[in-house]
Amino acid sequence: MSKTIVLDTNLLILFIVGTVSKHYIPAHKKLHPVYTSEHYDLLIELIKKAEFLVTPHTLTETSNLLKRINDPARTEIYQYFQNLIGKVQERYVTAQDASKRTEFIHLGITDSILLELGKENITLLTADHQLHCAALNSNHPTVNFWHVATERGLFAT
């Protein structure tokens, strides 16, 4: 994996929620029943030696999906998210450039932007099989989270 990675929306949500509290993972409607605290631990292992960046589109999707948990957890999660936004490197790719990709029709704007980052040798860490395959087809660096999880004996629940 390269020194710089970008996470897809689902993994960014797992990172944020799990960082606030692993106990919130089974309570979060976007994460449960697929992800567990063991998946969070694996994610941390995969990203701990890398610098990760985000895109405005991924942040927007994440913001919209993070609220799928009740308070007080929601407030804690958004406070952490707010702090993270101030610290993480944000990379902008124009929607105009991303929409020119052939994958745009099937994957949409956010995933097309993530694919554009592959041109800069930024590794995509994704839990989305279609996105992973599109990155492979474009010869961009990519890691399928579920492949690694399966190798470690961690399956989606």
CA distance 35 to 157: 7
- Which has the closest alpha carbon to 90: 34, 24, 7, 153? 7
What are the distances in angstroms from CA 100 to CA 94, 96, 108, 113? 10, 7, 11, 10
Domains defined along the chain, listed by start:
4-151 (3.40.50.1010)
Span 94-134, pLDDT tens digits: 999 999 999 999 999 999 999 999 999 999 999 999 999 99
The answer to whether the CB of 5 falls within 8 A of the CB of 145 is no
Burial of 96 per CB tally in 10 Å (0-12, 13-18, 19+): exposed
Span 27-75, pLDDT tens digits: 999 999 999 999 999 999 999 989 999 999 999 999 999 999 999 999 9
Span 72-102, pLDDT tens digits: 999 999 999 999 999 999 999 999 999 999 9
* 149: CB partners within 8 A, 6+ apart: 39, 42, 155, 156
